[in-house]
Each structure stands twice: as structure tokens, then as C-alpha cells.
Structure 1
């Protein structure tokens, strides 16, 4: 039996800011993880490719407001930094 992936532990090293900001990033990262797992069966960020996060930004947030899309972009950049990748994302 495997343990569920702990997103809070994964992002602990790169999370900064107020408590509310950290909680928002964690909530959004868990939602991103769930959507990618549902679409591509990739459970952990270590298995993700750039295309997975770009898909989330382009397709899952297209009906969101610009402000919401921006906050998801910040969370995705945080995930990319934690993965130590050179991926860049724009809206």
C-alpha cells in the first residue's frame, strides 16, 4: 500500500510569504496535481512534463478570470522551481 503524495512537504522548501499565500499555493498545487493525475495518470510532480502544466494553464483555466489564471501561473512557476527545471510559462 503506497502513501498518498504529500504536496505540502514537496513545496515546503520553496513556499514563502504569508500564511494565506502559502495556503493558496498548496490548494492550487493539489488541484493541479489532481487534474493532471485524472488526465494523464501522473500522480507525482516528478513524473510531470512541461506539457502537463501547460495543458492545465491553457485548458483548465481558460474560463477563469485573468487574476485567477495569474495565481495559477505563480503556483506552476513555484512547482517548476521545486522540480529544478528551466521551464517557462506565460499566460
Structure 2
């Protein structure tokens, strides 16, 4: 017999804000990585590795003033967004 459980979370307003920030940053990183991969494909360049893609859309992006806010969330969330992109 298999059991199934349902869970529901009720985050506080501050937790809700932190989750929204993390999800938003993950979306931006995913979209930036997708754009880099599409540009490389259109230019006829080889597939960009996971490590190189992380360097471009995470490490280098955090150094720019336009994307400095990416450093405010956990790096694990951003790295997982890049891994999800490569899995897709």
C-alpha cells in the first residue's frame, strides 16, 4: 500500500518576499543562460559546458552593476537554474 501526503506552506510576509526574490533571480539566470546558448548555436559555436555557462551568467554577471543584485540570494538557487537549463 502506498501512502500519499499533502503539505501546504504558509510563509510569513518576509519569507514570501525572500522566496519571490529567489524565484525571480532564478528566472533571470535561466533566461540569460538560454540567450547565451541560443546565441552560440546561431553563431555555429560548440555547446557551452555547464561550468562555462555558470561562469558567464553567474560569476561575471554578479560583477556588473546591472546584475549585482544576484549576490543577494543563495548561489545554490542560481546554480540549480543553470543545471535545469542544461537538463532541458
So what's the TM-score if we normalise by structure 1?
A: 0.47
Task: Find the structure with the greater CA-based Rg.
Answer: 2
Higher relative contact order, chain-length normalized (CA < 8 Å, sep 6+): 2
